[in-house]
């Protein structure tokens, strides 16, 4: 691992993810988590202050030991039980199948090399009535912006810890077997290729598909 990835990028991520707009969105979505929570891409732990008393325990998964070090300090200031899982979301977490009530993922799916593999792991650990709360940036609906996202992504990935600007977040989530029950999309402030945002809640879709199939005469 190079000097940039180990020493500069984690501090840059902690700073860049800490602003009024991200805080507003965290405050809108993260308190909806309950029970046993798996946070994918815990990063520097910026969501930790937004969990409500409905949360029993947070499993904070992230492959960056440097970011987890910052998160560990932040966890000391919140009344939460936090267990840190230093690993990639693509690899099976040490959690039983269908054991987690909520998965929270904020500004992370863009950076996971194999997003579909990670989503398969998320669906594995989520209880049948569990929920995936996501807050992600991704592909814009405007052709001009999307073209810039395609152009910029190869270079952006190199400086941004593998971050893709052009992923169609809702399609990725649904392709993994989720049903998105609530979805809001918008540009945040800042350059449009970097700020098109998908916010929402998804549940395992298999039961719904089965129910729909049964309902057809
Ligand atoms: C832009 S940061 C967002 C951090 C945090 N979720 C937040 O909202 O502030 C992207 C995060 O994705 C994490 N990440 C990158 N690859 C990952 C992977 N394969 N599995 C899980 N997390 C990953 C990074 O270490 C980093 O913490």
- CATH fold of 3-215, please? Rossmann fold (3.40.50)
The whole-angstrom separation of Cα 199 and Cα 132 is 11
Separation of CA 107 and ligand 1 centre (Å): 7
Residue bearing tokens 């993994």: 176
For 33, 38, 101, 121, 146, the CA distances from 46, given in Å and listed in that order, are 15, 14, 20, 23, 28
- Is residue 67 lining ligand 1, measured as CB closer than 6 Å? yes
- Is residue 64 lining ligand 1, measured as CB closer than 6 Å? yes
Give the distance between the most distant pair of CA atoms in the chain: 62
Give the pLDDT of residue 169.
98
The whole-angstrom separation of Cα 212 and Cα 179 is 13
Give the pLDDT of residue 49.
98
Separation of CA 40 and ligand 1 centre (Å): 7
Give the pLDDT of residue 215.
37
Which helix (H) or strand (E) segment holds residue 142: the answer is: none
pLDDT tens track, the chain, 217 positions = 688 888 899 999 999 999 999 999 999 999 999 999 999 999 999 999 999 999 999 999 999 999 999 999 999 999 999 999 999 999 999 999 999 999 999 999 999 999 999 999 999 999 999 999 999 999 999 999 999 999 999 999 999 999 999 999 999 999 999 999 999 999 999 999 999 999 999 999 854 443 333 433 3
Give the pLDDT of residue 1.
65
Q: What are the boundaries of each domain within the chain?
A: 3-215
Which ligand 1 atom is nearest residue 90's CA? 19
Give the pLDDT of residue 2.
86
Task: Judge contact between 80 and 106, C-beta under 8 A.
Answer: no
Beta strands in 66-146 (DSSP E): 82-85, 100-106, 126-137
């Amino acid at each position: 691992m190079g000097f940039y990835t180990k020493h500069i990028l984690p501090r840059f991520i902690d700073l860049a993810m800490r602003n009024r707009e991200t805080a507003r969105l965290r405050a809108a979505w993260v308190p909806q988590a309950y029970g046993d929570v798996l946070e994918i891409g815990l990063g520097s732990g910026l969501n930790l202050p937004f969990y409500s008393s409905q949360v029993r325990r947070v499993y904070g998964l992230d492959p960056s030991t440097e970011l987890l070090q910052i998160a560990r300090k932040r966890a000391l200031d919140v009344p939460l039980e936090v267990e840190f899982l230093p690993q990639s979301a693509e690899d099976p977490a040490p959690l039983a199948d269908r054991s987690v009530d909520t998965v929270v993922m904020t500004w992370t799916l863009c950076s996971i090399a194999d997003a579909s593999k990670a989503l398969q792991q998320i669906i594995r650990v989520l209880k049948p009535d569990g929920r995936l709360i996501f807050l992600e940036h991704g592909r814009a609906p405007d052709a001009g912006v999307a073209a810039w996202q395609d152009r910029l992504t190869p270079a952006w990935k190199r400086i941004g810890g593998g971050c893709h600007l052009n992923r169609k977040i809702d399609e990725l989530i649904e392709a993994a077997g989720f049903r998105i029950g609530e979805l809001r999309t918008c540009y945040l402030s800042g350059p449009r290729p970097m700020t098109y945002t998908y916010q929402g809640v998804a549940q395992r879709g298999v039961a719904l598909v089965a129910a729909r199939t049964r309902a057809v005469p």
